Amino acid sequence: MPNSINQQILLKSRPVGEPKESDFALVETPITEPGEGEVLNRTIYLSLDPYMRGRMSDRESYATPVELGSVMVGGTVSQVVKSNHPQFSAGDFVLTYDGWQAYGVSKGETLRKLDPNQAPISYALGITGMPGMTAYFALLDIGQPQAGETVVVSAASGAVGSVAGQIAKLKGCRAVGVAGSEAKCDYVVKELGFDACINRKTQDLSSALKAACPNGIDVYFDNTAGPILEAVLQQINLGARIPLVGLISQYNAENSPPGPNLMPLLVKRALIKGFLVGDYQQRQAEFVNDVSQWLHEGKLKYKEDVVEGLKNAAHALIGLLQGKNFGKLIVKVSDDPTR
Ligand code: NAP
Ligand code: FER
Task: Indicate which ligand has the atom closest to the C-alpha of 138.
Answer: 1
> Hey, is 146 helix, strand or coil?
coil
Q: Encode pLDDT of 189-208 as tens digits.
A: 999 999 999 999 999 999 99
The alpha carbon of 159 and the centre of ligand 1 are apart by a number of angstroms equal to 8
Class of 130-278 in CATH: alpha beta
Q: What's the pLDDT band for 69 if we cut at 50, 70, 90?
A: very high
Report the share of the chain in percent with pLDDT over 70.
Answer: 99
Q: What is the pLDDT of residue 124?
A: 97
Per-residue pLDDT at 258? 87
Q: How far is CA 108 from the centre of its chain?
A: 30
First to last CA, the chain: 92
The angle formed by the CA atoms of residues 12, 110 and 60, to the nearest 5 degrees, is 40
| CA 250 to centroid of ligand 1, rounded, Å | 11
> What is the reported pLDDT for 61?
86
Task: Find the 160 Cα to ligand 1 centroid distance in Å.
Answer: 7
**Mean per-residue pLDDT, 244-253:** 97
Q: What is residue 142's predicted lDDT score, i.e. its pLDDT?
A: 98
Tell me the one-letter amino acid at 273.
K
Q: From CA 146, how far away is CA 123, in angstroms rounded?
A: 28
Helix (H) or strand (E) segment spanning residue 308: strand 304-308
| Residue minimizing CA distance to atom 34 of ligand 1 | 246
DSSP 218: E
CB 75 near ligand 2, within 6 Å? no
Q: How far is CA 326 from CA 18, 54, 116, 312, in A?
A: 49, 44, 70, 16
Residue 53 Cβ contacting ligand 2 at under 6 Å: no
Instruction: Among 224, 268, 269, name the best residue to mutate to test ligand 1's pocket (greatest count of ligand atoms within 8 A of Cβ).
Output: 224
Residue 141 has pLDDT above 70, yes or no: yes
Spatial separation of the C-alpha atoms in residues 101 and 97, rounded to whole Å? 10
Q: How far apart are CA 322 and CA 313, in angstroms?
A: 14
Q: Could you tell me the residue ranges of all domains in the chain?
A: 5-126+303-332, 130-278
CA of 103 relative to ligand 1 center, distance in Å: 28
Q: Residue 1 pLDDT more than 70? A: no
* Cα angle, residue 114 at apex, residues 110 and 116 outer, rounded to 5°: 165
Q: The domain 5-126+303-332 belongs to what CATH superfamily? A: Medium-chain alcohol dehydrogenases, catalytic domain (3.90.180.10)
Q: Return the half-sphere exposure (C-beta side, CA atoms, 13 A cut-off) of residue 243.
A: 24
> CA of 39: how far to CAs of 18, 72, 78, 103, 247, in Å?
35, 19, 11, 10, 35
Please give the full DSSP string across 52-69, using - where no structure is assigned: HHHHT--S--SSPPPPTT
81-103: pLDDT as tens digits: 999 999 999 999 999 999 999 99
Q: How far apart are CA 180 and CA 202, in angstroms?
A: 8
User: Rounded to the nearest whole angstrom, what is the distance from the C-alpha of residue 155 to the centroid of ligand 1?
Assistant: 5
- Residue-level pLDDT at 301: 96
Q: For ligand 1, atom 44, which residue shows the shortest CA distance?
A: 131
Q: How many Å apart are CA 247 and CA 207, to the nearest integer?
A: 22
Instruction: Calculate how far, in angstroms, residue 39's C-alpha sits from the geometric centre of ligand 2.
Output: 26
pLDDT over threshold 70, residue 282:
yes
Measured in degrees and rounded to the nearest 5, phi and psi for residue 268 equal: -90, 5
Residue nearest to atom 1 of ligand 2 (CA): 51
Mean pLDDT of 107-112: 97
